[in-house]
């Protein structure tokens, strides 16, 4: 089993690291049940800026949920237990959890995740921010696994431009690093952790039967602050897309 110092070195070198079997047994079933209860009981009442569907009026096409940390049963996982422990081992103590998100690629969905760096959305300096991405389903190349460009977090921020993908409104301009990507295949309960400036993307879900669901918790170090200049750039670019589709661009999501 990989030791904490080995994980930290891998994260520093590659910008991402996996932890197989991060949650298993009753612990995995507990968080899966909480997520499914949230989708069933809370999501129907959420505004469109927090719950995104590929097709309006079709619950089975739900693709993304924001601000799940407002749900107390899930919020308890942020600051105690395995997620907090591994974030602290990588960022130091104390850490702050920025929020919880849920991602899905429904069967036969035609929406890729554009190549991007999370920190274009987060706008944080220094960029000591990581995402803990927990697989809730088997995740592979057919149903749209994450693909990372190793070491790209050490090359600085890239220019992003507006996309047509709801939930990922910005993508890297002129992306041409497909041949450098590493696909990350995961089983339910496996975790991949990535740095906020590592380049990553995901293909569409080519499976006609399988979803690709995940839960993501974003943590930052104690000295991280919002960069007001970068935040303004991002908000202006996001507003252009939101104005086109009639959503509230003042909703301050972490990653839209």
- Ordered by where they begin, the domains of the chain are 4-245 (2.60.120.620)
Structure-block tokens of residue 254 = 């972490």
Structure-block tokens of residue 243 = 């104005």
Query: What percentage of the chain carries pLDDT values higher than 70?
Result: 93
pTM: 0.92
State the pLDDT at residue 251.
52
For 17, phi then psi, to 5°, come to: -155, 145
State the pLDDT at residue 2.
72
> If pLDDT is split at 50, 70 and 90, which confidence band does 158 have?
very high
Would you call 35 exposed, middle or buried from its count of C-beta atoms within 10 A (0-12, 13-18, 19+)?
A: buried
**Stronger pLDDT, 221 or 170, i.e. the higher one:** 221
Three-state DSSP state, 214 = strand
pLDDT tens for each residue of 177-226? 999 999 999 999 999 999 999 999 999 999 999 999 999 999 999 999 99
> How large is the average pLDDT for residues 6-30?
97
Structure-block tokens of residue 97 = 């959890």
State the pLDDT at residue 236.
79
CA angle 32, 139, 38 (to 5 degrees): 25
CA distance 248 to 48: 9
CB 141 within 8 A of CB 182: no
């Amino acid at each position: 089993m990989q030791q904490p110092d080995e994980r930290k070195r891998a994260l520093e070198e590659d910008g991402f690291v996996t932890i197989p079997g991060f949650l298993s047994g009753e612990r995995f079933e507990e968080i899966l049940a909480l997520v499914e209860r949230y989708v069933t009981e809370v999501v129907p009442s959420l505004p469109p800026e927090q719950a995104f569907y590929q097709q309006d009026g079709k619950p089975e096409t739900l693709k993304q949920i924001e601000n799940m940390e407002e749900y107390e049963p899930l919020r308890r996982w942020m600051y105690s237990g395995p997620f907090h422990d591994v974030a602290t081992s990588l960022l130091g103590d104390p850490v702050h959890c920025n929020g919880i998100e849920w991602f899905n690629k429904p069967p036969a969905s035609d929406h890729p995740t554009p190549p991007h760096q999370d920190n274009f959305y987060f706008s944080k300096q220094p960029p000591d921010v990581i995402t803990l991405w927990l697989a809730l389903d088997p995740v592979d190349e057919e149903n749209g696994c994450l693909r990372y460009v190793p070491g790209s977090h050490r090359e600085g921020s890239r220019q992003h431009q507006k996309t047509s993908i709801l939930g990922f409104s910005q993508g890297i301009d002129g992306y041409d690093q497909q041949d450098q990507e590493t696909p990350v295949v995961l089983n339910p309960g496996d975790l991949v952790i990535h740095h906020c400036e590592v380049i990553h993307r995901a293909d569409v879900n080519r499976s006609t039967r399988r979803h690709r669901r995940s839960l993501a918790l974003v943590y930052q170090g104690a000295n991280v602050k919002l960069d007001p200049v970068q935040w303004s750039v991002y908000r202006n670019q996001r507003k252009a897309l939101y104005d086109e589709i009639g959503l509230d661009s003042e909703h301050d999501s972490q990653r839209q």
